[in-house]
Amino acid sequence: MIRPAAGADLTSLELLWCDYRVEAADGRLADPLDWRRWIMPRIAAGDVRVGLVDRMVTAYVAWQRLSARAGTTDRQLSILELYVHPTGRGRRIGSGLLARAIDAARQRGCSEVLLESNVRDEAVQALACPFGFHLRDDVLVLPLRLG
């Protein structure tokens, strides 16, 4: 099951975030308090989804819409974090979370989706490439057709 994150999910999300940081060797936002300050506005904005297995939060995705670059009207949705705990893998939760982010990008009229979370990892690429993502610089990019 996938649903929007709520404030009540914060402890579970923080535990997942800690697992993600260890597994991905991600040194950004090393302080949990900084991470809480970062994630709470995204939860409030509806930009975080959680995946559940046996009613336990085992995965999450967090995104934000980026403003149009100077001189363009292009809008992008950036997937900042996407993580599935090992106990939830193999259940298509990651695909479901990624699909929800892509749907949000389409609903917001974005021209592309950027996946910035651990993009050199083979498992991340195996998840994203079937959706049409391709590596550009250090970001996986999915162009969306507008219209």
Q: pLDDT at position 48, please?
A: 97
Q: Are 115 and 139 in contact (CB under 8 A)?
A: yes
Q: Looking at per-residue confidence, does 145 or 30 come out higher?
A: 145
The Cα 106–Cα 146 span in angstroms is 8
The Cα 147–Cα 130 span in angstroms is 22
For 47, the domain range is 2-143
Q: How far is CA 140 from CA 32, 40, 112, in A?
A: 26, 25, 10
Q: pLDDT tens digits for 19-67?
A: 888 887 766 656 778 888 889 999 999 999 999 999 999 999 999 988 7
Examine the pLDDT at 133 and tell me if it is beyond 90. Answer: yes
Cβ-based neighbours of 57, under 8 Å, separated by 6 or more: 9, 12, 13, 16, 50, 51
CATH, residue 78: 3.40.630.30
The Cα 95–Cα 117 span in angstroms is 14
Q: pLDDT at position 47, please?
A: 95
Model confidence at 121, pLDDT cuts 50, 70, 90, reads confident
Q: pLDDT at position 83, please?
A: 92
Q: pLDDT at position 13, please?
A: 95
Tokens of 9: 């999910």
Residue among 123, 117, 115 nearest 78 (CA)? 115
Residue among 58, 63, 21 nearest 43 (CA)? 63
Is pTM beyond 0.75? Reply is: yes
Q: pLDDT tens digits for 65-106?
A: 887 655 555 689 999 889 999 999 999 999 999 999 999 999
Q: pLDDT at position 73, please?
A: 58
Tokens of 8: 């009540």
Question: 3-state DSSP call for residue 109?
Answer: coil
Count of the separate structural domains present in the chain: 1
